[in-house]
Amino acid sequence: MVFDDSNLWDDFRKNKEYALSYIYHHHIAHLYSYGKKFTSDTDLIKDSIQELFVYLIRNREHLGSTDNIRFYLMSALKHRIIRSMHEQKRFIENEKLDGQYELLITFSFEEEIIDKENLSQKELLIKNALNKISPKQREILYYRYTCDFDYDKICEMMSIKYDSARKMVFRALKLLREQMEDTEVLLFILFKKDEVNFY
């Protein structure tokens, strides 16, 4: 059964038992995979997720409303993980001195070919094309096409302006298209949304 996010979140805030269970089981795998894009420290990720849900449960009556639970949870988890990494001085390799970060994004089809020793011509083309875009471009494509976030939510998640977000998506897609002859493969990479294999 699929629930409307607004009503489900309201029921969670009203302490209805089904809502917490559904939210947790529906989003936990995605949150864990999202956490791995910041750090390989699985204990830190698990602790951050647990702390997030403990906080939500304890403060549920005072939480604001949302029409996108996944975005709400991802945004809260991102801040919690980054804060924990700073507190414990566990910085990812490519973290900038000004506190900016770069997520280690990989796409589903890319993950399938990473460990292959012998790549086909098409797989090699895909791998090379994805290597041409920057971590920030990977991140924005991930939010736009994997998470299906609108530009307002992307701007909030990445702390960038609306026009900048649109231009970044356009430039990333343009770069990929310039590198790849088969646009169907590009669409497959960006629009495949199988939760089990995509993250």
Tell me the mean pLDDT in the region 12-28. 94
Mean pLDDT of 18-24: 95
Q: Compute the half-sphere exposure of residue 66: CA atoms within 13 Å on the CB side of its CA.
A: 20
Give the model's pLDDT for residue 31: 95
Residues 143 and 151: their CA atoms lie apart, in Å, by 9
Mean pLDDT for the chain overall: 80
- Please report which confidence band the pLDDT of residue 119 belongs to, taking 50, 70 and 90 as the band edges: low
Mean pLDDT of 138-145: 88
Q: Place 154 in a pLDDT band, splitting at 50, 70 and 90.
A: very high
More confident residue, 198 or 167: 167
Bigger pLDDT: 7 or 145? 7
Q: Domain spanning 5-87: which CATH class is it, in words?
A: mainly alpha
Q: Which amino acid is at 160?
A: I
Q: Where are the domains of the chain?
A: 5-87, 108-198
Query: What residue type is 168 in one-letter code?
Result: M
Residue 186: name the closest of 172, 196, 199, 197 by CA: 172
| 90 contacts 44 by C-beta, under 8 angstroms | yes
pLDDT in tens, 48-69: 999 999 999 999 999 999 999 9
CA distance 38 to 139: 11
Topology match between the domains 5-87 and 108-198: no
Per the model's pLDDT, the better-predicted residue between 1 and 169 turns out to be 169
Provide the CATH topology of domain 108-198.
Answer: Arc Repressor Mutant, subunit A (1.10.10)
